């Protein structure tokens, strides 16, 4: 498994928590798309992009033939546009992943997905990394930690 990110500390945590083999910092490595292509032997099969902006275009440039770029959000503040020639040359797909809309439109499938996830969690197949815990009355502080991008993995609100 490989990962890119804009913070060396978070990338180190990915290695520690998830066993990520190769990491590339897209802020400090101007040629990061070439590094990804080299590490993956030609390009990434799946790119999970919560950042948008310039990262989106470079992610599209380092994707493999028939790869998928999952658009999750726009943490950079810039909503990117896909260049149609890159989609054609890569034979790839750009897929919008908006869980809120999915849950509203397909509640039964969403419920089944959560049942499966909780079954995997109970069986020890999923081990979410929790970097922050907050009592429910400090939910505003939890949101602040998310906004400051301090959370690596999950932030949990605990109900007494």
Residue 85 in this model has a pLDDT that exceeds 90: yes
In whole angstroms, how far apart are CA 28 and each of 4, 68, 69, 128?
11, 25, 22, 28
Domain boundaries, the chain: 2-97, 128-160
Tell the CATH superfamily of the 2-97 domain.
NAD(P)-binding Rossmann-like Domain (3.40.50.720)
Q: What is the pLDDT of residue 64?
A: 96
pTM of the prediction?
A: 0.81
Residue 19 in this model has a pLDDT that exceeds 90: no
What pLDDT digit, counting tens, does each position of 23-40 carry? Answer: 999 999 888 999 999 999
What pLDDT digit, counting tens, does each position of 107-133 carry? Answer: 999 999 999 999 999 999 988 889 899
Q: What is the pLDDT of residue 46?
A: 96
- According to DSSP, the β-strands at 130-135 and 63-71 are unpaired
Residues 67, 41 contacting (CB under 8 angstroms): no
Q: What is the pLDDT of residue 89?
A: 95
Q: What is the pLDDT of residue 17?
A: 81
Angstrom distance (rounded) from CA 33 to CA 37: 6
């Amino acid at each position: 498994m490989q990962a890119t990110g804009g913070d060396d500390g978070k990338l180190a945590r990915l290695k520690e928590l998830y066993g990520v083999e190769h990491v590339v910092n897209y802020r400090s490595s101007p040629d990061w798309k070439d590094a990804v292509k080299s590490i993956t032997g030609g390009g990434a099969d799946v790119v999970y992009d919560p950042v948008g902006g310039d990262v989106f275009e470079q992610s599209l440039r380092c994707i493999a033939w028939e790869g998928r770029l999952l658009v999750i959000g726009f943490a950079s503040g810039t909503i990117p546009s896909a260049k149609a020639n890159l989609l054609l040359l890569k034979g790839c797909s750009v897929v919008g992943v908006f869980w809120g809309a999915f849950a509203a439109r397909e509640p039964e499938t969403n419920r089944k997905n959560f049942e499966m996830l909780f079954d995997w969690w109970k069986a020890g197949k999923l081990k979410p990394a929790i970097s922050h815990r907050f009592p429910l009355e400090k939910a505003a502080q939890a949101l602040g930690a998310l906004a400051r991008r301090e959370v690596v993995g999950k932030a949990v609100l605990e109900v007494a």
